[in-house]
Structure 1
Amino acid sequence: MSLTNLKDGLNTGIDSLDYEHRKLVGVMEAICDSFDRADSAPEVSDLFGKLYAEASAHFALEESLMREKKYRLYDAHKADHEQLLDQIRNMMEACEDGKCTDCGMNLRACLEAWFAGHVTEADSGLRGLAGPSG
């Protein structure tokens, strides 16, 4: 699965979350494109910072929704968010050599696995929280 395919293939049915998922994929695509250019280390670092900030804000939105709806898996989902933010920091540190040390894959594959894994496993449970209009 490519990052581009993630934009439309992993929807929760909650419009605000799906919009932010697409934004996160856009930042991940920018990271990979920048990383492919050999002279772009500062840009990659800045983009990882942007990914971290946007993921943090996105997770705060998800967590707010889960608390509001009294989502029974809130604690586990929040713990997953914390682990994902740790993984972004690890990828930031590993980007110099083009490898994600957590998963032993190239950067693009690591970002795909990070995002797709969370959305398909953890966020899929949020579908039931969507109101009538999403």
Structure 2
Amino acid sequence: MPYIDWDANLETGVAGIDHEHRRLVQLLNDIHELIVAKADPIRIADTLADFHTLATAHFALEEKIMRDQKYPAFAQRRETHRRLLDEVRDIMDAYDAGSYREGQSLPATLRQWLFQLMSIDVDLFTRITPASLRKWGLTQG
């Protein structure tokens, strides 16, 4: 059973952003499956690192776009990004230290935060003109 089911309502209509969102969901599902299956902790830690790396880059792009577009909820959004990345980092550190309980599931907060962030992205990217999207190397569709 996946940790997160993809929902088409989370699509922003911006191909690159939607691709990254799907990839983030897939990575969390992979991490969840590895944890539940009691896979090698190194493999779990590596997949967590992949998620953290992609999320960091994705959030940085979103924050640049929000700043450029003078998005009104920029500060709150940046803080939510930071908290999500901190939680993933805490899980990574626990795996590195060997203190994450074997078979322990991912915290529900990760799922909640990711869905919250992607829902807000739908609002954000509907406000942006195609010309502004091109500035960031993004296209609608």
Q: TM-score, normalised by structure 2?
A: 0.74
**Structure 2 equivalent of residue 127 of structure 1:** 125
Q: Report which of the two has the higher share of helix.
A: 1
Amino acid at match of 2:115: A
- Alignment RMSD (CA, Å): 2.5
Matches of 2:11 and 2:107, distance apart in 1: 20
Q: Secondary structure at the match of 2:82?
A: helix
- Runs ≥4 in structure 1, deviation > 3 angstroms? 1-4, 108-111
Flag the 1:3–1:131 CA change in 2: closer, same or farther, 3 A. farther
**Structure 1 equivalent of residue 69 of structure 2:** 69
Amino acid at match of 1:112: R
**Structure 2 equivalent of residue 22 of structure 1:** 22
- CA positional deviation for 1:3: 4.4
Flag the 1:73–1:124 CA change in 2: closer, same or farther, 3 A. same
Query: Structure 2: which 5+ residue stretches go unaligned?
Result: 131-138
Flag the 1:42–1:73 CA change in 2: closer, same or farther, 3 A. same
Identity of aligned residues (%): 31
Q: How many residues align?
A: 127
**Structure 2 equivalent of residue 12 of structure 1:** 12
Matches of 2:113 and 2:43, distance apart in 1: 21
**Structure 1 equivalent of residue 115 of structure 2:** 116
In the alignment, is the contact (CA less than 8 A) between 2:2 and 2:33 conserved in 1? no
With a CA cutoff of 8 Å and minimum separation of 6, indicate the structure with the bigger relative contact order.
2
- CA positional deviation for 1:7: 5.5
Flag the 1:46–1:5 CA change in 2: closer, same or farther, 3 A. same
Q: Deviations over 1:23-48 (max 9, x none)?
A: 11121121112112224211001111
Stretch moving more, 45-54 or 9-18: 9-18
- CA positional deviation for 1:18: 1.1
